[in-house]
Amino acid sequence: MKKLMAANWKMYKTQDEAKNTIKDLINILGTELTVDRDVLICPPYTSLKVVAEEIKDINYMYLGGQNFYPAKEGAYTGEISPHMLLDVGCSYALVGHSERRHIFCEKDELLKEKVKYGLEVGLNIIFCIGEKIEQRRAGQVDQVLKSQLSVLKDINNMSGIEDRLVIAYEPVWAIGTGEVAGEKEIFEAHKIVRDELKNIYGEVGNSIRILYGGSVKPDNASDIIGIDNVDGVLVGGASLHADSFSKIVTA
Ligand code: 13P
């Protein structure tokens, strides 16, 4: 499976900063990648257009939104639609990032609508899941991940889902903390996710990419992507600099 190396720039970078970072990244990585990987950049909405311009001729790079509201248009002040993301050049969007779940209180019902609607209108979806530290300490990782994945049970009749849906396992306690999950923890969590995907989708569940996210850095990326069922990474802090993200992409 081709690995997906994804950058989530969160609420960082003005248009100029975004443009400079993406130019630097392309300068380092080149117009053709030496490794067989997909690279996804998820800038804030205000920088989608400038990044789209820079990557339009780079065949290994894709553009993604960090969120959207599941409707075509309407009176939803402050929101953005999947159609608008597609219009600006996005082919992917994140759904259910832990910051959306915990800061903006997004619940499973809404996340299910987002995954379903986003896929229906043509976006590829990266559905983010992960447990909090207290849930891990209470031995609930299996239960939490299965419960978060259960929103997919109603979205199992789409052909080609294996190319359109990606899962990102991001333990909440490893996001932005510098505390990366250990190899055993990542292995076990990704195995739970893989088994659940097979429960929901049958054999096709073997071909859905599962990314790891949470304090991925140039010095741990290679070990992480070598773990069974790790089909790429979703990177926050270390994706903000071309130098460090390029090292992760080629790790
Ligand atoms: P960090 O890489 O900064 O830990 O962030 C991970 C993340 O939330 C990516 O979506």
Query: Coil, strand or helix: which one is 151?
Result: helix
Tokens 């993200």 belong to 245
Query: 38 - beta bridge partners?
Result: 4
Quick one: which atom of ligand 1 is closest to the CA of 97?
A: 10
Out of 97, 106, 162, 190, the active site residue is 97
* Single pTM value for the model: 0.97
Please give the pLDDT value at position 34. 87
Please give the pLDDT value at position 131. 97
Q: How far apart are CA 11 and CA 47, in angstroms?
A: 10
Q: Give residue 233's region: left, alpha or beta (phi > 0; psi -120 to 50).
A: beta
Mind listing the pLDDT tens digit for each residue in 19-46? Answer: 999 999 999 999 999 899 999 999 999 9
**Is 102 assigned a catalytic role?**
no
CB of residue 118 inside a 6 A radius of ligand 1: no
Tell me the best of 5, 9, 10, 41 to mutate to test the pocket of ligand 1, counting ligand atoms within 8 Å of each CB and taking the most. Answer: 10
CA of 5 to the centre of ligand 1 (A): 12
Residue among 208, 207, 210, 206 at smallest CA distance from 232? 210
* Pairing relationship of beta strands 165-169 and 209-213 according to DSSP bridges: parallel
Tell me the best of 172, 177, 212, 216 to mutate to test the pocket of ligand 1, counting ligand atoms within 8 Å of each CB and taking the most. Answer: 216
Please give the pLDDT value at position 179. 83
CB of residue 216 inside a 6 A radius of ligand 1: yes
Please give the pLDDT value at position 99. 97
Residues lower than pLDDT 70 in the chain: none
Query: 61 - beta bridge partners?
Result: 39
Out of 99, 106, 131, 170, the active site residue is 170
CATH architecture for the domain at 3-249? Alpha-Beta Barrel (3.20)
CB of residue 237 inside a 6 A radius of ligand 1: yes
CB of residue 40 inside a 6 A radius of ligand 1: no
